[in-house]
Amino acid sequence: MLQKLSYQTFWDTFYNHPKNTLENITAYVNVAFTHEQIYKELKDDKTIFIIAEIKSDAVGYARLTFGNYEHGIIAKRPVELVRLYSTQEYLGKGVGTKLMEECIEIAKKYNCDVIWLGVWEHNGRAQSFYRKHGFEIVGDHIFYLGSDAQTDLLMQKNL
């Protein structure tokens, strides 16, 4: 279920953006969202997944990873919000907000002082969502979508 949800939500979010090619999207999802990769992430004791369900259907998820740093992130006990996605059907219907609230509660429970993430510079909708939840841009880094080196903005929220 998580592998299918991860693959589908990423694909639906990025496949039709004019800056992305089918080849790069396909190359990325065929590595990042295999059963083996998701299983590896689930076994990682620094990682927590949160699944959003409506009427027993998985409609979104988030992945937190503890202890990761990037240049520009100022924290003693950081947690990275690696992914936060909802299905297209539930975009703008509160799923992302509920997932974010749960991520922040978990971060506080684990005494994290910062929650941070990388968001694609061309994903204005996501940037607005994160700003609405108190995140600020603190830098950037390169994210490879297949062979395409893309710029992600680093955003953090102090807890």
Point out the catalytic residue in the list 28, 61, 85, 130.
130
The closest alpha carbon to 153, from 127, 128, 131, belongs to: 127
Please tell me the distance from the alpha carbon of residue 159 to that of residue 112, in angstroms, as a whole number.
7
The tally of CA atoms less than 13 A away on the side-chain side of residue 59 is 18
Token digits of residue 157: 């929220």
130 catalytically annotated: yes
Query: For residues 96 and 60, is the Cβ–Cβ distance under 8 A?
Result: yes
The amino acid that residue 58 corresponds to is A
Query: What are the catalytic residues?
Result: 130
